[in-house]
Amino acid sequence: MTAILAIANQKGGVGKTTTAISLAAGLAALEKRVLLVDCDPQGNATRGLGHTARAPHLYHVLVGESPIEAAILPSGFPFLDLLPADRDLVGVEVEFVGLERWEEVLGARLAAIAERYDFIRIDCPPSLGHLTILALVAATGVLIPLQCEYFALEGVSELLSTVRRVTSALNPELELAGILLTMYDDRMKLTRDVEREVREHFPAKVFEAVVPRNVRLAEAPSHGLSILHYDIKSRGAEAYLAVARELLRRSR
């Protein structure tokens, strides 16, 4: 079965898109067939891989204006395809209100092409609106990037209660695939304190690998490249390769 991972956290700027792109690229580098789905109207995953969304993209697929095959692009990197998005995608937040069984639409669309891929990664927007729910219902797992700062855990409990609602009502398959500590700076006491708290609170769910704050990770998207293509020797690239390997180990 294709592992479909939603990368979600309603808090903004915690590293969701960086994680989605880097993990997709990391798995593709290991010659796994990967689809990266940009499920955020900000379109950062699309632009971060050097693309501009043109119709048809994810919006047209979700509202039934285009078959999914027509919207998927080769990313330009081996083994990696992209289902892009742009700001039109925000229309879903309005148009799906009151629609029957809207929650299942992304899952149904992905089911048509899932067997072409070993892994599908979905980059979620910073909200718990329709787009994140669509991703959670389509997914087999959710990965939560978490920045080590005050109140980080409170945001995670809200997200986890949404995950539980989705699991009990709509998608019993959905698992917590893991919590990933991002923008990690071990010189800061706050980072170490939050890390200890998160690891105690979610034993076995926090990735051993942590993603350091690394300027190469911040630079890569402006070049339209994943960190692996931008600077394979950087600490950011090493960290995300370690996370990709950990995920593969766990999914066996």
**Is residue 118 a contact residue for ligand ATP (CB under 6 A)?**
no
**194: three-class secondary structure by DSSP:** helix
DSSP per position, 51-97: ----SSSHHHHHTTSS-HHHH-EE-SSTTEEEE---GGGGHHHHHTT
Q: What is d(CA 8, CA 178) in angstroms, rounded to the nearest whole number? A: 11
Interface residue with ligand ATP among 46, 132, 182, 226 (CB under 6 A) is 182
- We find the least distance from the C-beta atom of residue 71 to ligand ATP, in angstroms, to be 21
**Is residue 17 a contact residue for ligand ATP (CB under 6 A)?**
yes
Residue 26: both structure tokens together? 């990391």
Interface residue with ligand ATP among 6, 8, 16, 118 (CB under 6 A) is 16
Please state, as a whole number, how many other Cβ atoms lie within 10 Å of the Cβ of residue 55: 12
**Is residue 90 a contact residue for ligand ATP (CB under 6 A)?**
no
Residue 14: both structure tokens together? 């915690």
**Is residue 191 a contact residue for ligand ATP (CB under 6 A)?**
no
Of 166 and 183, CB closest to ligand ATP = 183
User: Which string of x and - marks every residue 11-50 that binds Mg ion (by CB under 5 A)?
Assistant: -----xx--------------------------x------
Question: Judged by CB under 6 A, which stretch of 39-47, 84-92, 105-113, 185-193 contacts ligand ATP?
Answer: 39-47
DSSP per position, 133-169: HHHHHH-SEEEEEEESSTTHHHHHHHHHHHHHHHHHH
* Chain positions contacting Mg ion, by CB under 5 A: 16-17, 44
